[in-house]
Chains A and B, each alone.
Chain A
Amino acid sequence: NAGVTQTPKFQVLKTGQSMTLQCAQDMNHEYMSWYRQDPGMGLRLIHYSVGAGITDQGEVPNGYNVSRSTTEDFPLRLLSAAPSQTSVYFCASSSFDATEAFFGQGTRLTVV
């Protein structure tokens, strides 16, 4: 049972490049979400999904797109990377009747 798997673990992008951060879970969880973690800021919610085909914005959605075509996968897309998007990104999942969310190991992204 792998839990929540994020790829890649590290990535360096140039300003203006696009990329997709992958997140997959094998626990059949309905809910999935993306957070970014910056020094001194704590974890902040970017986007979340309560099921396949359903997504919504969190606290800091600008510059990011998401889609949820399957229960297992919830990719995060950066359309035109900016240095302000340098951060560590975490994906989380939980079931609707759960008492906890499970987090992936994170993707450290640097935009130069």
Chain B
Amino acid sequence: EDQVTQSPEALRLQEGESSSLNCSYTVSGLRGLFWYRQDPGKGPEFLFTLYSAGEEKEKERLKATLTKKESFLHITAPKPEDSATYLCAVQAGGSGGGADGLTFGKGTHLIIQP
């Protein structure tokens, strides 16, 4: 059974204080690991897809990395608008962008204080 565990459950940072969110996973045959951002009352918004250990992707203040057992979402010098819940998901087998089935973690609720 595929499993995704995210830590911490919640994180409060000061503006400019860099940190990392963790996503540990067990999956039989990883096709892709996905990071999404979710704002209150909204649907998940795509951030990154990682496919193989050692891969890294960046977008503004966010950088995602992948190993064989976990992924990290590094947030550098965050701003209050980075406050959101960050979701990690894995896709085992299949094809496409994952709408044929993703296994999600419970998310990390991130608050950036001015």
A residues sitting closer than 8 Å to B (CB atoms) are 4, 29-33, 35, 40-45, 48-50, 58, 90, 92-106
Interface size on B, residues (CB 8 A): 26
4 extra A-B contacts, CB within 8 A, seeds A43-B44, A94-B99:
A31-B100, A41-B106, A98-B96, A105-B43
Dominant secondary structure of chain B at its interface with chain A: loop
B71: interface (CB < 8 Å): no
- For A30, the chain B residues whose CB sits under 8 A away are 96
Chain A binding surface, main DSSP class:
strand
List, in ascending order, chain A residues with CB within 8 A of B102's CB: 43, 45, 101
Q: Nearest chain-B residue to A34 (Cβ)? A: B99
A87 CB, nearest partner CB in chain B, Å: 14
B78 within 8 A of A: no
Report yes or no: B95 in contact with A105, Cβ–Cβ below 8 A: no
